Homo-oligomer: A and B are copies of this chain.
Amino acid sequence: MTNSVGISAQLDFDAWVKLKQAHLEQVLDRVLPSADLIPTTLHSAMRFSILGGGKRVRALLCYAAAEVYIQDTSSTDISLTDNAACALELIHAYSLVHDDMPCMDDDDLRRGKPSCHKQYDDATALLVGDSLQSLAFSAISQTSPSQNAQQQLQMLHILAKAAGSLGMAGGQAIDLSSVGKPLNQTELETMHRLKTGALIEAAVLIGAASAQPEASINNAEILALTRYAANIGLAFQVVDDILDVEGDSSILGKTAGKDANNNKPTYVTLLGLEAAKTYAKQLHDEALSALKPFSTQALRLQQLADFIMHRRF
């Protein structure tokens, strides 16, 4: 596998993103069962649901957090980071497939393509999500003699907790139960901290851990990374809500105006459009402030905060 972290420090941000996205695509392609393996429809549908699209924000955060600790990686084995990035995107993709199903958000469009249950059927979409989740844990539990198993187990445990009922799936449950209900800002934030924030936080912490297989990261650094992740996680959601109002479906690759039309509480409906933009900027500033102790080592994390803030899709 090409080690793409080593040469990346010299690249501008856009080139780094493209390089990482292309690299991850290769890793995912290798980890996913071939489409001609039985059951072929399930494997085709799994590949359809994750390959060839997506911003890969969680994987980018994972790589960026790893680069805080691995500056010169030309001689470093980054397979642990690759497996972690891959697992994060598998969990994210499974959640999108299930969220789009008729009994959940009932969305026909995803990443500019039909959603999985539209392209295939509901039963296949259910099994695709289930299988992508299993594959995430299979990918991140791959062992190699050079790896520190204790560290790897901790990464895996962070991922499992972030995905479950006290994380992403729990946030989705709160989201579903909140349709049509007036939520205050604290309740809305609790929902998003679980639904989106938990996996984004996991991405940063697992990425950092993947680059430190032999040593522990000190507590102050974990706190700083967690603070960064919490703020960009919320910023990501606030920007999402703004794009739901201002965005263009053809650029977004999903149906704009969906949340507002579904009577879902959003930062825009709660705060108003301008105040939501101001809030996103505050969160962005907080995230950058959290990175100060890392100085230039956190370049990619800083750039990702900017990217999340200014994205149009």
Contact = CB atoms under 8 A, between A and B. Distances in A.
Interface of A: 33, 37-39, 41-43, 46, 94-95, 98, 101, 103-104, 121-124, 126-127, 129-131, 133-135, 137-138, 141-143, 149-150, 152-154, 156-157, 159-161, 163-167, 169-170, 172-174, 176-177, 190
A262 to B, nearest CB: 13
Given A153-B153, A160-B138, A165 B42 contact: yes
Contacts of A163: 130, 134
Nearest to A121: B103
Contact of A190 (B38, B98, B133): B38
Copies of this chain assembled into the complex: 2
28 contacts: A39-B170, A41-B173, A42-B169, A42-B173, A98-B126, A101-B126, A103-B123, A104-B126, A126-B126, A130-B163, A130-B169, A131-B164, A131-B169, A131-B170, A133-B134, A134-B160, A134-B163, A134-B165, A134-B167, A134-B169, A135-B164, A138-B157, A138-B164, A141-B157, A142-B157, A143-B153, A143-B154, A149-B149
A103 B129 contact: no
Given A39-B165, A135-B164, 7 more contacts: A39-B173, A42-B169, A129-B130, A130-B169, A133-B133, A135-B165, A156-B156
A32 to B, nearest CB: 9
B126 A103 contact: yes
Identify which of A33, A38, A127, A165 gathers the most chain B CB atoms within 10 Å of its CB: A165
A261 B165 CA distance: 36
Contact of A141 (B122, B156, B173, B190): B156
A137 B172 CA distance: 19
A102 to B, nearest CB: 8
A102 B98 CA distance: 15
Contacts of A156: 137, 141, 153, 156
B98 A130 contact: yes
A153 B160 contact: no
A95 B134 CA distance: 12
Contacts of A98: 126, 130
A42 B176 CA distance: 11
A153 B155 CA distance: 11
Contacts of A101: 126
Contacts of A152: 149, 153
Contacts of A122: 103
A177 B39 CA distance: 9
A161 B129 CA distance: 15
Contacts of A157: 138, 141-143
A161 B138 contact: yes
